[in-house]
Amino acid sequence: MQMSIVVLVISILLFFVLFFGIGFILNMLLRMSWVMAIIYPIVAILIVDKVRFIEYFTNSKSAFLELGHKFSSLATADILILLSGLAGAIAAGFTIKLLRKNGYQMF
């Protein structure tokens, strides 16, 4: 199934804004500037993989093989969308650090 360029651009923008917002709020509440950038790979795995989370502990070999297969079969558009979410999470960390450096205190 192909994705139109308009849908791709909107998806990239939505993922960036979504994870920027979540990262910004988590950074304010937890006072850890890079919390969402650290959590994002787990979120990406949960988005891509259809294996239940508990199976990574109970049936590790097949779960990680399935995860590798899923990631290797992603389309370029899907990779761009997931990378834009990571960029949003990293941008939230930089924004919080910049705001704190300039004297803004959040919570």
pLDDT digits 0-9 by tens, 22-47: 999 998 888 887 888 899 999 999 88
pTM: 0.85
Which of left, alpha, beta for 49 (phi over 0: left; psi -120 to 50: alpha)? beta
Q: Residue ranges of the domains in the chain? A: 5-49+75-101
Please, are residues 67 and 49 in contact by the beta-carbon 8 Å criterion? yes
pLDDT digits 0-9 by tens, 53-106: 899 899 999 999 999 999 999 999 999 999 999 999 999 999 988 988 888 876
Please, are residues 107 and 41 in contact by the beta-carbon 8 Å criterion? no
